[in-house]
Structure formats: C-alpha cells, structure tokens
C-alpha cells in the first residue's frame, strides 16, 4: 500500500467515524424509534375520566397509538400539540390515540390538564402493570403504534415533532 493510498484510506475511515458518531448522537437526541416487529399489543381495560371503559381490543380495525405520558413531563407536554394536529388530520382515516397518563394523582390532575390542552383523543390513567405489559420501558413519553390487526409495529421513546409522529403512523393507515 502506498503512502497516498494509506492517507486516503485513513481519511475515509475518519469521515466514516465522524458520520457514525453524528448518527448515534442524533438518534440519542431525537429519541429512539424501533421497528418493533410483529408482536401482539397487550390488551388493557382502563377508564376515562367520564367512566367509560376503553379496551384496546375494541379498537381493532384502527391504527391505535398508545402514548404513555404524564402532566409533569415536559417532553410529553411538548409533543401534544403535534399529536393533536396529526390526529385531527387522520382521525377520519382510522387513526385513534389513547393517551395513557401515568400521574399518581390520577384524574385529579389529568382532567384539568386535558381540558386546558383541548386533548380530544382518548385519555386513560395507567399503572405499573400496564407499563410492565408494554415492556417496562424506562422513560416517557413512550409511544407504541398498534396496527389494524392489533400488533405493535413501532415504538418510540422520547418526544416527537409533529412531522416525526406523522411519519410514524402514516404507513399503517
């Protein structure tokens, strides 16, 4: 190997290293999107603030976003307006969102927040058992996309922009 080829190869390796470090850093900053493969979404039966019971299996035939969040979570609050916009555009095309609040005080704090944010999608209060059923994820917001057949097809940990959220759900509608 000549010195020129060696230098060229070293420069290519350096560019590749820089690219990979940048890619990894970007993924960490943006949250984690995982193609979850095809696995059945755990069913749940949780009540809304008005006492209706929402079961995931009753939403079969729709693309369901299960979004774990809390009123005290800054990134959770930041992504809600984008989710509302996307929901407004795709609700008629079979999109449903179930916001699973993880606030320990329950609807006492969730209901006023939902009203203030004008959240018009389904909101329930979850618990540790449901978090465990969905894989004991370590942070919120954590969002799962459940396809029309009831399978988890995507998962994202971290806040999403409106564009990221739309890109995540649109292929399954």
168 pLDDT more than 90: yes
**Cα distances (angstroms) measured from residue 69 to each of 38, 98, 103:** 24, 10, 8
What proportion of the chain, given as a percentage, has pLDDT over 90?
Answer: 78
Instruction: State the chain's mean pLDDT as an integer.
Output: 85
Query: What's the pLDDT score for residue 38?
Result: 76
Q: What is the DSSP string of the chain?
A: --HHHHHHHHHHHHHHHHHHHHHHHHHHHH-EEE---SEEPPP-EEE-TTS-EEEGGGGTTSEEEEEEE-TT-HHHHHHHHHHHHHHHHHGGGTEEEEEEE--TTTHHHHHHHHHHHT--SEEEE--HHHHHHTT--SSSSEEEEE-TTSEEEEEEES---HHHHHHHHGGG-
pLDDT digits (tens, 9 = 90+) for 85-143: 999 999 999 999 999 999 999 999 999 999 999 999 999 999 999 999 999 999 999 99
Q: pTM of the entire structure?
A: 0.79
40 pLDDT more than 90: yes
Reported as a pLDDT band with limits 50, 70 and 90, residue 42 is: very high
CA distance 153 to 98: 16
């Amino acid at each position: 190997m000549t010195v020129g080829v060696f230098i060229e190869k070293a420069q290519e390796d350096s560019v590749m290293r820089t690219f990979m470090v940048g890619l990894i850093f970007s993924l960490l900053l943006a949250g984690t999107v995982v193609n979850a493969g095809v696995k059945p979404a755990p069913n749940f039966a949780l009540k809304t603030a008005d006492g209706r019971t929402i079961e995931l299996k009753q939403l079969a035939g729709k693309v369901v976003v299960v979004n774990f969040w809390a009123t005290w979570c800054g990134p959770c609050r930041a992504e809600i307006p984008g989710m509302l916009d996307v929901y407004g555009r795709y609700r008629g095309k079979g999109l449903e969102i179930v916001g699973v609040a993880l606030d320990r005080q329950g609807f006492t704090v969730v209901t006023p927040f939902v009203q203030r944010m004008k959240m018009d999608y389904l909101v329930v209060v979850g618990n540790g058992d449901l978090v465990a059923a969905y894989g004991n994820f370590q942070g919120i917001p954590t969002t799962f996309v459940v396809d029309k057949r009831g399978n988890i097809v995507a998962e994202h940990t971290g806040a999403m922009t409106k564009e990221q959220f739309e890109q995540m759900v649109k292929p399954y509608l």
